[in-house]
Structure 1
Amino acid sequence: MNSLDKLITEFDKGLRTVFAPAHSVRPQPDRGRAETPLSESEKKQAAALMRVNHSGEVCAQALYNGQALTARNPATETALRQASEEETEHLAWCEKRIGELGSHKSLLNPVWYAGSFALGALAGALGDKWNLGFLAETEKQVGKHIESHLARLPVQDEKSRAILEQMKIDEARHATTALEHGGVELPLPVKLAMQLSSKIMTSTTYWI
């Protein structure tokens, strides 16, 4: 496949990630959990948190696809594609839950996808050890966000909690896999820049 074909393929993936319903091979983690009564304010809180997590998965999809596009080692590309496939499942889980809570996905998802894809492609171009290090750090930060969201969810919202707990397990595994494939620790300024961009995304997506 030549470069133009690869770009067309990635553009198609981006459109499907942002606009098409996602599908999951694994069962929904909240399957079998009863829907518990939530007040309107609790529903809004839970929906906003799930919207943030959904947008985080959109960003993750874009990052991994961008990284895989420019990865130099086939094993690295395979690891990135595998992580991307599981993030698609996370998209499906979050999207379904947002709908159940009567809310909507972020209107800014196309912006987040485009920016994250460009960042991922740059990371991939820097070399595989930095590429995988970027993946590991991304997953660590996502895991911290999920942990904070678990603390902020309405206590009785077991369905959203089950989804986030499974996502947290998956993200930790992705980080470990990246390090096992040769990922290196990123410099502190890069980590701080990632945290800042993540904060901008999460605080905006909570409302829009």
Structure 2
Amino acid sequence: MPNIDRIVLSFDRALRTVSAQAKSSRPYPAEAVATEDTLSEQEKKHSAGLMRVNHVGEICAQALYDAQSAFSHTEEVTRQLQHSCIEEEDHLAWTASRLRELNSHTSFMNPLWYAGAYTCGVIAAKCGDAASLGFVVETERQVEAHLAGHLKSLPAHDERSRAIVEQMRVDEVAHGAAAQALGASETPQPIKMVMKLMAKVMTSTAYYI
């Protein structure tokens, strides 16, 4: 694809992502779950904070996968990253829908989150496909642990949020496994530590803003 076309497509995807225009290709996991009427205002606020964090995570996932697929070195890796990106867009749409149900908002810092994650994706891709895939594996490993923590932290009777988070967790595990199968290299420990630190800053900020 010519560079100018790639730039235009990436810019269009970025605008749709940060402006909450994501659309799901799969059914909403909470659709079959009865709407709860027992959540207190404090519980709704906590659930919304967690779902806002998850929504920001999906903003970052869109940026990462878009950058990594755009600068990957083989068609096979590009296809896998683009497939994962589609499923991550489902997550983006689901978390946005849940935030609306909870009468809350997405993060006001979404453009900043997207720009930072896209930069990280470009750097990872420029290190070669094995390193880029390793970055995916470690990212998904950390995200899966983060989602498992949310399943424990969500109000016990917030089944709609729980259904969304559980399906996201299953998908993230699959994305990591697919990247591993394509020949991911092990991410160096210092980079893993930096990733954890960046994630901590993001999650602690996005919960509120």
TM-score with structure 1 length normalisation?
Answer: 0.98
The answer to whether 1:95 aligns with 2:99 is no
Letter in 2 for 1:87: E
Q: CA deviation at 1:9?
A: 1.2
Aligned to 1:80: 81
Matches within 5 A, 1:140-155: 140-155=141-156
Partner Cα separation in structure 1 for residue 65 and residue 21 of structure 2 = 19
Partner Cα separation in structure 2 for residue 124 and residue 169 of structure 1 = 25
Aligned to 2:208: 207
Does the aligned pair in 2 maintain the 1:63–1:117 contact within 8 Å? yes
Does the aligned pair in 1 maintain the 2:64–2:117 contact within 8 Å? yes
Tell me the number of residue pairs that the alignment of Structure 1 and Structure 2 aligns: 208
Structure 2 portions without partners, runs of 5+: none
RMSD: 0.7
Secondary structure of 1:199 counterpart = helix
Q: CA deviation at 1:69?
A: 1.1
Does the aligned pair in 2 maintain the 1:47–1:98 contact within 8 Å? yes
Partner Cα separation in structure 2 for residue 32 and residue 155 of structure 1 = 17
Q: CA deviation at 1:117?
A: 0.4
Does the aligned pair in 1 maintain the 2:131–2:187 contact within 8 Å? yes
Does the aligned pair in 2 maintain the 1:54–1:95 contact within 8 Å? yes
The answer to whether 1:70 aligns with 2:71 is yes
Q: CA deviation at 1:4?
A: 2.0
Structure 1 portions without partners, runs of 5+: none
TM-score with structure 2 length normalisation?
Answer: 0.98
Does the aligned pair in 2 maintain the 1:135–1:178 contact within 8 Å? yes
Partner Cα separation in structure 2 for residue 86 and residue 110 of structure 1 = 21
Letter in 2 for 1:22: A
Q: CA deviation at 1:35?
A: 1.7
Q: CA deviation at 1:30?
A: 1.1
Partner Cα separation in structure 1 for residue 88 and residue 125 of structure 2 = 18
Matches within 5 A, 1:52-201: 52-201=53-202
Does the aligned pair in 1 maintain the 2:23–2:93 contact within 8 Å? yes
Identity of aligned residues (%): 48
Partner Cα separation in structure 2 for residue 152 and residue 196 of structure 1 = 20
Partner Cα separation in structure 2 for residue 56 and residue 10 of structure 1 = 18
Aligned to 1:12: 12
Partner Cα separation in structure 2 for residue 187 and residue 106 of structure 1 = 31
Partner Cα separation in structure 2 for residue 81 and residue 59 of structure 1 = 14
Partner Cα separation in structure 2 for residue 172 and residue 194 of structure 1 = 18
